[in-house]
Amino acid sequence: MARQVRARGLAAGKSSAQIAEEIYEKCSSQFGTTRIKGHRLAHGVALADVIEQIRALFERDGKSAPGIGETLLSAYESGLKRPGPEYLHYLCSAYRVEPASLGYDGPCICGHGHKMPGVVRGDLQDGRPDISPGPRELLIQSIGVECSADGGEEDENVLRRTLLQLLAGSGSGIALDGQVLGSVESMRRRMDDTLVSATVSPAMLDQWEESTIGFGRQYMNTAPLRLLCDVMLEFAAYARPWSGASRSTCRNDCAAWRRSSPV
């Protein structure tokens, strides 16, 4: 069925992205075809072809060969796994679409579009790129979020002030406003950049797992905003490109915040 849709789409002069959407609409209900698989079928290529394209993109960017293979890509296409920020970026680059076209929410970590080489964002319309914000940016703008660009210190200060107010017992009048959400979004984006550009040691992964388990235990008996501040302040220790000493200091500060009031 996908082969027929592709052949008719090519005959009608449709783009690969348009054909992929038609394949998804016609095959998803009957065969469980995902959006990301629809794009591969729209290009008429095998799993191995996509893997080679991603490897070529890694080589172009001066990176070592990726660990992605046909088994992992098949897991993405079946919905069993979700690609991480780096692999999602290169899948978008290979198919020249945005994450939403592949069935994933949020913008790409690269911050620009993939639809055509050299285009900053979006489709070409009348010779000009469409730079309208995506769904995630529209949601953030609608609640008044302004992500800071000062390296993250102000984001952490926002969360520290909120946490101090909560610890002081004035939490009844504190809301999850746009400023707090903006700080959270900025930290998340910096963490995406860190995961792509940095190498994570086994010891660091153990620390992350230990922190995650600890926050999981607090989840059922800690106020949501209090827990969010705790998590994001810990998160900042890894999201910022600091030295080891600075990271250790931040982690100790976060631990002190959590111990300052009984759960």
- Which run of H or of E encompasses 129? strand 128-129
Q: Does 127 have pLDDT greater than 50?
A: no
pLDDT at 216: 80
pLDDT at 39: 95
Instruction: State mean pLDDT over 151-180.
Output: 70
pLDDT at 116: 47
pLDDT at 8: 94
* Residue burial 83-97, b: 16+ Cβ < 10 Å; e: rest: bebbbbbbbbbbbbb
The chain-wide mean pLDDT, for the chain, equals 74
Query: Of 81-90, 130-139, 159-168, 198-207, which gets the smallest average pLDDT?
Result: 130-139
pLDDT confidence band for 196 (50 / 70 / 90)? low
- For 20-32, how does the pLDDT look when each residue is reduced to its tens digit (9 = 90+)? 999 999 999 999 9
Name residues whose C-beta falls within 8 Å of residue 89's C-beta, 6 or more positions apart in sequence.
108, 109, 110, 196
Instruction: State mean pLDDT over 209-234.
Output: 79
Name residues whose C-beta falls within 8 Å of residue 82's C-beta, 6 or more positions apart in sequence.
76, 104
Residue 5: how many other CB atoms lie within 10 Å: 22
pLDDT at 115: 63
Question: Half-sphere exposure of 87 toward its Cβ, with a 13 Å CA cutoff?
Answer: 17
Q: Does 252 have pLDDT greater than 60?
A: no
Query: Of 80-89, 112-121, 161-170, 181-190, which gets the smallest average pLDDT?
Result: 112-121
Tokens matching residue 256: 């002190």
